[in-house]
Structure formats: structure tokens, C-alpha cells
Amino acid sequence: MKLHSLRPLCAAAVVALAVPASLHAQAGSTTTGSPAPATHYVPSPAFDSAAIDTHADPCNDFYKFACGNFTAQHPIPSDQTGVDQFYLLYNVNTEQLNGILQKYAADASTRTATEQVLTANEKKIGDYYASCMDTAAIDKKGLAPIQPLLDEIARVSKAGLPYLTGEFQRFGVNVFFGFGEQQDFKDATKQVANFDQGGLGLPERDYYTRTGDKDKEIRKQYVEHLTNLLTLSGDSPQKALVEANAILAFETKLAVASMTNTERRNPDAVYHPQTLADFEASIKPVNIKPFLEAIHAPSSLPGPLGPDSIIDGNPKFFPAMVAAVRDADIDTLRAYMRVHLLETFGSSLPHNIDAENFHFYGTQLEGQPEQRPRWKRCSSAVDGALGEALGQVYVQQYFPPSSKDKTLEMVHDIEAAMDADIDTLDWMSPATKEKAKVKLHAVADKIGYPDHWRDYSKLEVVRGDALGNARRATDFENDRELNKIGKPVDKLEWGMTPPTVNAYYNPSMNDINFPAGILQPAFFDPKADLAVNYGHAGAVIGHELTHGFDDEGRKFDGNGNLSDWWTPADIKQFEAKTSCLVKEYGGFTAVEDPKEPVKVNGQLTLGENTADNGGLVLAYMAYLARAKKEGVDINKKTDGYTGPQQFYIAFAQNWCENSRPEAVRAQVLTDPHSPDHFRANGAIVNQPGFSAAFGCKKGSAMVPADNCRVW
């Protein structure tokens, strides 16, 4: 499933709106688990006057004007890679979730009479959290919970690798390659099996291939990390070092055969229907059936080419992967599987293993000095494993129906703005405009939480079994996903949990999704002025809606099918418009390093930059229309600013941030989102309403003589 979200998520298939720290950095634990938040987190104000630097010229650097004091007000905590509005709200939401979880995790003897009887879901989320928090028990058990799996690795032969790979992938140890379920790009009513590239320990392929000093140092640190993990699992340091270097060489072969993140943004590049027989022929002499059996794939894989057919996400990868396995000795492959197993379950293993995982993925890659407190990580772990069970309680307490109604009103306003905007485009033909409106009117709007809640009755949670709970939760989710193959698509399903501080567009579903977690201050505040909410949440809504018409989303029609519904002339005009954004953002230097400066990749970030720019145009149009409808005087000043000024300040304050350079570097190299500073100014310079709002003259930095406009 291909999602376009507001920031990047951990899952590889997701293109996101907000940036949490890396998967490995988020997943770990500490020696002890603090039982409760040490700090009370307060929501950010919807309009943050204190962040504004009134000495800065908004016409010269609008980000500095709107966010100039943010860094001084928000030093980076040692347990974070940076601070921005997403992290601030994440902390608030996580504390709220923790309050829910502590209540249900409490020993029965401490509950009041009215709290004695828990529902099945309440007991599960409480037991999952309590088990995660019990670090003393985790340390006492040592490697015992995972020893049977280590023993399987120690015994496996090359002939047995397909079955063991399927077994491991079922509970989230994604070695060698990727496998899963997705909607068929060419027939969105069908759900099919997908084989894809994977199996890497570093963030993405280019970490293995770049030749700069920084990447060489990261690869050296990675080998040290692998050596430490292998030593902790029982090898001598000398043997572990040899194995670690062999793992790096093996993964480098997988990386070289992999596509880049930029290449993978083209949906045509990752869609290659094949019969299962042809796929097996490409990976001879490997027999794929033991893998499919072990991962609990359906016995039949109906796909785009009939019975037993699949999607191959990267046909050149699999022969290269099979050759790499053939050429590697079995000890290297066993060591490779062992370290990936230890990384996957690090948070449920003794502290020395977990700390080693965090040291590399958190500190060395992201610059984060300390792990998040255990209560935060365990709250997030429950959200990941039982997100709709926990989310159901969360929305009852923190997302009233009035907030859902108001958000839906904004969504309808912004969709109406896009309808009007399409009419004004001078570069699109009437025929394509008509089809664009058909797609727009078919977009499904999902606000807050699902219409029906997920059934967790088959998921077993055992109090005191942290690793077992994590494994069973991943098994449960794997089986739930793979069981969709060949079944009707559930149009009501969500790809994010209700407490998530993010939003997304799914082109195969043609829906926009706004979890309750992001519809909180500062992004949405029922008490805030119209201009502020439309600048904050409205820009988020416009961003996701525009994703349906960015360089990826435009290739899918209103039914969610990958189809060519544009005229050739319109495609040429569109690409000319987007090339302007590629050039603009490609000129931004994200990391000012004298030796190895890092620039934004304008092609990789094109979809998100298009969504930021177009979404802000639509939100402003919708704001003006709503203000007129409600008789709001947009020229009246509040907190010293007119409505249009508040609107643009609120938008920029979505992106106020204070980030570690290591985290910014990792972001620029791996995901499709520009750093926050450039998301603010990069969109502002292309806004037709900005100049009048702040009285900026054409030719100033924020109102250049030439700018970019797609939507």
C-alpha cells in the first residue's frame, strides 16, 4: 500500500507529513522504566506569539520572522533528535495515552470498585504496557525468550533458508527481501501479494554506495555495531568482527541491486506483475513455497495475471539477492539473520543489547544522546500493537464530535477550493480538467477514527511476556494483512492509529485521512480564530488533498487505479511546472558542512513540496471563502495581525523546529520531505496571497520575480 503522509513514518511503504525519529531509535529501552511521566507536557498555543521574531523582516525570511524565537524557547531534550510542532504534540498525546495505560495496567487490588472489571481490550492494552515496562523481568530472562530462534539460526542450512526467512518475516524480522500485501495498482478492487527489495540494516541503499568520508565513517560504525551485537549473542570479539565485515559485504550486494528512494517514487517502476511460476524461475534454484507456507500466505495467490500471480517490486533485485546468498558462506548468513533478529526485538531484550541498538541507530545516525523514557516507548509500543483498541479510549476522552464536525467542514471548504482552482489552470486542457474533477469528487474523507474498530480477539497478550507479546502482535498483524489477498478491499480501513500525529493520502483508496491525534492544538484548536485553524490544519488538509494530484498521485484515477488519464500535452505542461519546484528545492543547503554540505534532493522531495505549495494555496482560498460566508472581517487585527497575516504565520509555525544536524542529514538522505525550514519558506515564496498580506514588494526574497505554481 502506497501512502502519502504529512511526514515520514517508520514503515517503508509510507511517504509521510511529520518526522519521528528512526524506527530503531524509537524502539529501544533503558535499564529501568520510569513508571510515570517526569514532566507534564502542555499543548502549544494555536498562535504562538512568543515564537515570532518581530525584529526579522517577513519579506526577507518568513521562517525567521514566524519562528525566530522558537529555538531559544525549545532546546532539544536529550531524548529527542529535535523539537518541532509534531514532537511537541506527540509528547502531549503520549502522556495522555500513558495515563490511559497506567489505569488499565494497574494491579487489580489498586483499582476502585468501578474499575475492577475491564473489557478484553482494556486488559490487553494494560497487560501489554505492564509487560513492556517490566525491565527487571526482561533483564532477568536474558536471551532465554529468544534462544529457540537463535538455535534455529544455528541449525539452518541454505536449503532451509526459505522456510526460516518466512518464519522470521512473519514476526517482523525482514531479512533478505520484502513480502506483503497491497492493492493492485491497475485494479484497486483487488488485493494481491507483493515481493520487493529489502534486507538492509542501514537506512537505505546509498548508505552502502556513497564514497564520502561521512558515509565511510557510518559504515565503519555499522561494522562496530554488528560486532558488538554478535559478541553479546555469544561470539568471540575476533569471530564477530570477521562476521560483521562479511555481513556488510553481503548487504552491499543487496543494496547495489536495490532501487534508490527517488526511483521508487515512480509507481510504474515498482509495479511488475508476474506469475508465481515466472517469479520462481527468476530465483532458481530457490523454492519459494516453503517461504509462503512459513509466513502464512494464503494457499492461493490470485493476482493481476490470474491464479498464483504476484507483483514484483524490483525484478533485478531478486536474481542478485539469490546470487549473493549463493556466494555467501552459511556462517555469514546465520550471523546476518542473528543481528537482524536482535535489532528487531531489542526493546524486549536485556539492556546491553537494547543500548547497543540505540547507540548506533539513535546516537550515531541521528545524534540523539539518550533514549526516550521507557514509559514513552512502551506507550508507543501499545499504540503500534493495539492501536485501535487504545485509540478507541483515546478518542472518547480527547476528540469530541464537535471537533470532527469542524474538521469535516474545513475539508469540504478545501475540496471546494480545489474544484474552483482547477477551473483557473491555464496549463490544463478542458478534457483533463473534467477528469481531475471526477477524481476530486471521488475522494473519501476520513476524520478522527475508523467507522468500525479492529477485532483483536485472536491476539493473545500475556502479562510478563514482553518479547512474546511483541512477537504475537506482529504475527497477528502479518496474518491480518496477508489474509486480505484475494479478498474484497475494505474501503473503511485506516492506515494510521487514531492517536497518531500525522495525516495521509492513499492513492489506491483515493482517500484523505486525518487521525484524531493531529487534530489537537496547535494544529487544530476549536477556540482558535478561523485564520489560525485554516493556516494550521487547513494547510495539512490541503497538503493531503494535493497529494492526489502530485507527480505520483496524478497517475492514479478516481477509482484508485494506475492509469493514463492525462493528455500528452497536459503531462508535458505539468512536468514543466514541477521542474520549477525541483530546481527551487534542490538549491537549498540543508547541512552547512564545509567538507560535505548536504543539499535537499529536489526530485526525491517533489511530491511533498508540490503538496505543501498546492495545499497552502487551497487552504488560503478556503479561508477567504469561509470568512466571507461567516461575515468575518479579515482586516481586523488579533494579537497585532490581520487574518491573512495570522493564516500565513500559523502555516509557518507548523514547521518551527530545532533539530540536530545528524538528524537533518539522515532525513535529507532518506525520505521525501524537505527539512522544516525549507517547507515553510519554500512554499511561502510561491503563494499568490502572501505579498499583499505583508506588503512585500516584488523582488524581495519572499516575493521573487519568478516563482513556481503547479496547483
Q: Is residue 243 part of a domain?
A: yes
Q: Is residue 644 part of a domain?
A: no
Q: Is residue 92 part of a domain?
A: no
Three-state SS annotation for 336-379: HHHHHHHHHCHHHCCHHHHHHHHHHHHHHHHCCCCCCCHHHHHH
Q: Is residue 311 part of a domain?
A: yes
Question: Distance (Å, rounded) from C-alpha 704 to C-alpha 684?
Answer: 11
The predicted pLDDT at position 256 comes to 98
pLDDT greater at residue 230 or residue 17? 230
Tell me how long the chain is: 711
628-631's contacts with Cβ under 8 Å and 24+ in sequence apart are 630/530
Range of the domain at 197: 145-348
Q: Is residue 517 part of a domain?
A: no
The predicted pLDDT at position 117 comes to 74
Question: Distance (Å, rounded) from C-alpha 456 to C-alpha 670?
Answer: 34
Beta strands at 14-15 and 3-5: parallel, antiparallel or unpaired: parallel
Beta strands at 444-448 and 511-515: parallel, antiparallel or unpaired: parallel
pLDDT beyond 90 at 379: yes
Question: Distance (Å, rounded) from C-alpha 219 to C-alpha 499?
Answer: 36
Contact 642, 693 (CB under 8 A): yes
List helix spans (H) across 511-642: 530-533, 539-547, 568-586, 606-630
Q: Is residue 307 part of a domain?
A: yes
The predicted pLDDT at position 573 comes to 97
Q: Dihedrals φ, ψ of 314, to 5°?
A: -160, 90
In the chain, the amino acid numbered 139 is D
pLDDT tens readout for residues 419-436: 999 999 999 999 999 999
pLDDT band for position 115 (cuts 50, 70, 90): low
The predicted pLDDT at position 383 comes to 98
Q: Which residue has the cell 509466513?
A: 295
Q: What mean pLDDT comes out for the span 277-293? A: 96
Q: Dihedrals φ, ψ of 56, to 5°?
A: -85, 150
pLDDT band for position 25 (cuts 50, 70, 90): very low
Q: Half-sphere exposure of 455 toward its Cβ, with a 13 Å CA cutoff? A: 4
Number of domains forming the structure of the chain: 1
pLDDT band for position 7 (cuts 50, 70, 90): confident
Q: What is the CATH number of the domain that holds 309?
A: 1.10.1380.10
Our CA angle for 357, 358, 362, nearest 5°, is 130
Name, in order, each residue with C-beta under 8 angstroms of 579's C-beta and a sequence gap of 6 or more. Answer: none
- Of the candidate ranges 27-41, 163-177, 330-344, the one whose mean pLDDT is the lowest: 27-41
Question: Distance (Å, rounded) from C-alpha 15 to C-alpha 260?
Answer: 14
pLDDT band for position 2 (cuts 50, 70, 90): low
Closest CA to 272 of 261, 282, 284, 285: 282
Q: Is residue 647 part of a domain?
A: no
Total-model pTM: 0.94
Q: Is residue 680 part of a domain?
A: no
Contact 3, 500 (CB under 8 A): no
